[in-house]
Each structure stands twice: as structure tokens, then as C-alpha cells.
Structure 1
Amino acid sequence: MGSDSGRKRKVRGRKIRSDRSVKERRKAEKQRRRAAKENGNSGSATSTTDASTDALHSPQSAAPEPFVSTDAVEALTTRIGRWLEADQPVHVVGPTGCGKTALALEAAAERGRPVVWIDGDQAVDTGTLVGEHAGGESYVEDDQYVSGVHKRTEVVRERWVDNPLSVAAREGATLVYNEFSRSDPLAHNVLLSVFEEGVLERPEKRGDDRKIDVHPEFRAILTSNTAEYAGVHEPQDALLDRMVGVHVDYYDAETEREIVAAHVDLPDDQIEQVVDATRALREELDVVVGTRVAITAAKGLAVFGSGNDDAIDDEVLVTVFTDVLAPKFAGREDGSDVATLEGRVADVI
């Protein structure tokens, strides 16, 4: 289902980043953060900064692994990066499984600034973004005025912990807010002053530091599925007016082959079969068939396939793709079942 030219994967420069040195740096970074957290939690009270900066990730550890950059991918990362240079929040929108998250993380890592991550869902509220009180801390002051006379005073104070948005705004990090549109839009009102005035207000915090002046290097990348997916909220217009939107769709065949090859060790001809089948099913089925489907199918074929360089048997392809896509057919209102899916997959392949 593809031409010979498609089998020649053209990778310009250092395009697939999966070398050992990167993995070692990421491992060392994780160990450093773990040690810092353990040291900070021992002994007396932990400061707000020490407790919250664990959310900061170095650019090296935040970069997706592996990451494939063809001309199409590089054009998008460059486009996002330039909008960030223009101090504009970027909203990356596209169908599920098209690589939005990896693209956002790569663009964030390329800035060379720390990265802060948050996943959106229904439970996210303003406190989840900006911070909250994390219980009280108490200690005893023991004053000895004269020998044998003590005055003991128990002091209780509230402990505040900054959450991702506050950490990123204070430290000048790049905030990557994944699945932004799955959170309640009311939680995002706090972003209006951040994007417009450069000020972050923490409603539950008291005192002079209730407001944070946003660091000049702070930037935000938000990702969302397109609006037709279940569980997606439509953001308020006032917020959309303060960001730019970059639409991402499924990549070209060459790029999808590169992405699958970076994740699964299969011969080129078999990878081409998988990608061609994925793209054909994408056109014919009324469910989302993203690049992630191709990667999962390739992982299955690495186990169920022939184990050599021969072309994969069509029956094996049908079985693997049916298994990968079966969860999308569970409980469908149109009465479609796995048997129906298998027949449709067989017709396409």
C-alpha cells in the first residue's frame, strides 16, 4: 500500500532524539528533584518556594522522548516558538492522537527555560492552578525567664503551597497546560490578568504577596482537542482574544512513518504497511484513527507478526487493527459492535 520512495526515510540532521546521553540527563534530573524534595521535607517547616518548585522541570527533562522532527514538524515548532517570542500565549488545537502534546513540550523545551506541566480535567479549579493552603504547621516556643520558670507558647501558622500557574509565573517558566479545554472555564478567569496585565492574583492567599508580578520570561502553551470530542468545554471569548491558535492535523505519510519508526523496531516495509493501513482506515471509519493508533498497532505487530522482514499478512493486520480500535466501538448508539468493526477493517485492508 505504498511506493518504494516511501520506504526511504529522509531524516535531516539529528532528527530522532533517543540517544543514551539524553536519557542519562533526564534520569539525573529526576534524581536531583527527588533528593531536593526529600531534603526539603526533613526537619522544620518548608518554605513556599521550596515546596512548590518541585513542579519545575529542566528543558532537557521536559523534552519528549523520542521526538521526530521532519520538515512538517519543524515548521510547526518554529511557528509556535515565534509566537512565544512575541510574548503571545499559544493554543494548540487538533484531533486526538495527532501529536499536540509532544509538539507543545518540544516547543517549550526549545526555549531553554524551565517547564511546568498541568493536565486539565473537570476537577481543576482556581486553587489547582494558583495554589492553596496545605494545612497548618505548629511549633512550640519555650522561653526561660529565670531558672525553673518556663513560658511555653504554641504557634500555629497556615502553610501555603503554590501550584503550577503560580510557580511558572514567578519563575519565568513555560507553562504547558495539556487538555486545557477539559477544565471548567471558570477556573481560567485567573488567566485573564496574567495574559493581559502581567499580574497573577491568588484569591485564597492573604497578605502583601496575594498578587504576583508575572516574570517577563513566563510563557504559556495550551493544548486542546477539537470541540467535537466529549468532555470538551468551549473557553470564554475574553480568554481566546488574548491568545493565538495553532491548528494541528495529522501529519503527512512520511512524518507518520518516522514517528512510528522512532517508537517501534520494525522493518521499513512493515512500518509502511502499518501507516498506509492507518491512513486508509482514517478515511473510511467514523472514529478517530490518529498516529497513536499506528504506534499501538506497530507494537502489536512486533509481537504478533512474522518476526522477519516479510510483508505482514493481511489477516494479521486486520486482527491487530480491530483490537486497537475495538474500545472506540464499545457502547456506540448506532449498534456497531466489534464484528462490524472487523468487517469494515477487513474491507479497507
Structure 2
Amino acid sequence: MNPSNEISGTREFVITPFFEDIITRTLRYLQAGFPIHFVGPTGVGKTSLALYIAKQLKRKVTIIRGHHELSNKDLLGHYAGVRKKEIIDNYIHTVIKKEQEITPVWVQGQLIEAVKNGHVVIYDEFSRSRPETNNIFLSLLEEKVLPLYGHGKGSFIKCHPEFSIIFTSNPEEYAGTFHTQDALLDRLITIQLDSCDKETEIEILKHKAGLNSCDAEEIVRLVTSLRSYGNGFCPSLRASLMIAAVAKKSKIEIDRENILYQALCMDVLNRPMSQLLPKQHPIKIRELILKEILRREEIK
């Protein structure tokens, strides 16, 4: 978990009509006191969007990363050993007095700090945490109190009126995710995030990688055409950004006939396409990528 005043990278978030609508709706729901849940495949920008929205609320941010070992101890706090203090009195050289003080050390979980002081919490990939861990959010979202299991300093704390939370997750069929209890989903406003439109993806490549419009359009044309072979999400926006960033940094000309550009696209796109078409032979996958690289189809 990571609390911060400044969120790195949010200044570079690219605002287009595609994102403006989602941002406006999300801020409206959060300001009305409801938690938000962004769900969508990897690479569509769920976390970046959540970070940008959190910054607009102008409050401290606490980031929780979901994983299968996350527990109430991480969220609420736990005892981490003891602190020992020993005093030796030898003022009279023939007499030695010893006094020991042993105090258990309590490490406070950051969710407590966030709830008390009205932070914006981003619970990233929350469905990778076990449902029994996420049960703690049921009371927090419904009764606006945080139960303090095993805390020893009261049974609960009241939620700050400006506390907000944004959940993100991949669809449940993704590896490493747990089924989310209906009681938790019923408390969230879920917004489905799909791949951004071509115009937005082009603007992102121009802004983040410093490409001109023509080069950005060519990369988006290629990746979009490969997505059509599957579910429309893979290869993700990350693949486009990788190609754009390496080409810019290494001064590789983005040209269909350029062997260096072809090799770069092969290296970046081979894995996602093999994942998308698992029954295809590796050679066929590479032939397919090359065919799409060389395709003379203008972006619409």
C-alpha cells in the first residue's frame, strides 16, 4: 500500500472525448458518496484513469494492490514483534540493578489512516485478493464504519465524510482472480472499460511517446487490425506504447518496409497474438503479424 500527496504520471493523462465522459460520470458518483468499480481487460488504462480521477478530488491518496496474500493485518494493522528497553544501574559499583521494559510494537494499517482522514483509496486489482479479506469493505461501504478486527482499541472507527474509494479489476475469467461476492458488487457502481477508440489511442501515442500523427496512426492501424482476430482487447494499448516508445527512443523509422520496424513489431506482438490464437503454430503467428504490418489499409 502506498499513500501519497502527489501522484506521478497523472499530469500526462491524455483527455479525449472518450475519457471525458467516463471522468465526468465517475466524479459525479464519487461526490455523491458512492464507490466506483472500473472493470476491464488488462491494458485498457483502469489504474491510470483511477489515479487521474483521484487527483481531481485534491485529497491524499492511498493505493492498495490486491493479491492473494493480502489480509486484514495488512489493511488494519498488526503486532510486529516487541520493543525492549533495558536500564542497568551500577551507580554503586558493588550493586547492579537491572530493569527491563518490553512493549509490543503495533504497525497501523494504511486503510485506518485513509478512513480516518478522508483519503481517496484506489484498490487496484481487488479481485486478486481473497473474498474473506474483501469482506471488511462491506461495513465500510454500507454503514460507513471500519470494523477493527483484532485491533484491541475499540470495535470500529467511523468513516470520514470525504473518504472515497475506487476499485479496479479484470474480468473474472482472468487467471489469478477470485469470484467477488455479490454483496460487495451490489455496493459499487461498476463502469465497464473497453479499449479506447482509435482517435484516443493515437493521441496517447503522440503525447506519451512523442510521435507525429502519421507514425501514431500507423501503429494504431496495425494493432487494431490484429485485435480483430480476437476479442478486440488484445494486443492491448501497452503493446502500442511499447512499439511507439522503442521506435522513438531508438530512432527506428515507422515504415512497413523497414526491417527494424518489422522486427520490433514481431518482438512486441508475438506473445499477445500467441495468447490470442493458442492453436496457431508460431510460424503462422509471425506470418500473420507480418501480413498485417504490410497491409495497405488506411485508418478510418
Q: TM-score, normalised by structure 1?
A: 0.75
Partner in structure 2 of residue 156 of structure 1: 102
Distance 1:166 1:324 in 2: 42
Partner in structure 1 of residue 4 of structure 2: 57
User: What is the CA deviation profile of residues 70-105 of structure 1, one whole-angstrom value per residue up to 9, with x for unaligned ones?
Assistant: 121121111111111111110101111011111001
Partner in structure 2 of residue 30 of structure 1: none
Matching residue within 183, 188, 192 for 2:134: 188
Partner in structure 2 of residue 338 of structure 1: 282
Q: Secondary structure at the match of 1:61?
A: coil
Say whether residues 1:265 and 2:218 are aligned partners. no
For residue 212 of structure 1, report the CA deviation from its aligned partner. 1.8
Q: Verify the 8 A CA contact 2:226 2:235 in the aligned structure 1.
A: yes
Distance 2:13 2:36 in 1: 20
Amino acid of the structure 1 residue aligned with 2:3: L
User: What is the CA deviation profile of residues 284-343 of structure 1, one whole-angstrom value per residue up to 9, with x for unaligned ones?
Assistant: 246721111110111232356644xx7443655543222112333668994434322211
Partner in structure 2 of residue 238 of structure 1: 183
User: What is the CA deviation profile of residues 5-26 of structure 1, one whole-angstrom value per residue up to 9, with x for unaligned ones?
Assistant: xxxxxxxxxxxxxxxxxxxxxx
For residue 140 of structure 1, report the CA deviation from its aligned partner. 3.5
Instruction: Report % sequence identity.
Output: 31
Distance 2:128 2:44 in 1: 17
Partner in structure 2 of residue 348 of structure 1: 292
Partner in structure 2 of residue 36 of structure 1: none
Partner in structure 2 of residue 82 of structure 1: 28
Say whether residues 1:297 and 2:243 are aligned partners. yes
For residue 148 of structure 1, report the CA deviation from its aligned partner. 9.1
Distance 1:241 1:148, change over 3 A: farther
Q: How large is the RMSD of aligned CA atoms in angstroms?
A: 2.8
Where does 1:1-349 land on structure 2 (aligned, <5 Å)? 55-58=2-5, 60-61=6-7, 64-140=10-86, 152-208=98-154, 210-285=155-230, 288-302=234-248, 306-307=252-253, 311-313=255-257, 316-328=260-272, 334-349=278-293
User: What is the CA deviation profile of residues 218-267 of structure 1, one whole-angstrom value per residue up to 9, with x for unaligned ones?
Assistant: 11101011222111222101111111101111111111111111221223
Q: TM-score, normalised by structure 2?
A: 0.87
Distance 1:252 1:324, change over 3 A: same
Distance 1:332 1:271 in 2: 23
Distance 1:196 1:285, change over 3 A: closer
Higher helix share: 1
Amino acid of the structure 2 residue aligned with 1:339: I
Distance 1:333 1:348, change over 3 A: closer
Q: Verify the 8 A CA contact 1:141 1:154 in the aligned structure 2.
A: yes
Which shifted more, 97-106 or 295-304? 295-304
Q: Verify the 8 A CA contact 2:274 2:285 in the aligned structure 1.
A: no
Q: Verify the 8 A CA contact 2:234 2:273 in the aligned structure 1.
A: no
Amino acid of the structure 2 residue aligned with 1:219: S
Q: Verify the 8 A CA contact 2:128 2:176 in the aligned structure 1.
A: yes
For residue 191 of structure 1, report the CA deviation from its aligned partner. 0.7
Q: Secondary structure at the match of 1:134?
A: strand
Distance 1:343 1:103, change over 3 A: same
Distance 1:334 1:257, change over 3 A: closer
Distance 1:298 1:89, change over 3 A: same
Q: Which structure 2 residue ranges, 5 or more long, are not aligned?
A: 294-300
* Equivalent pairs, count: 292
Partner in structure 2 of residue 3 of structure 1: none
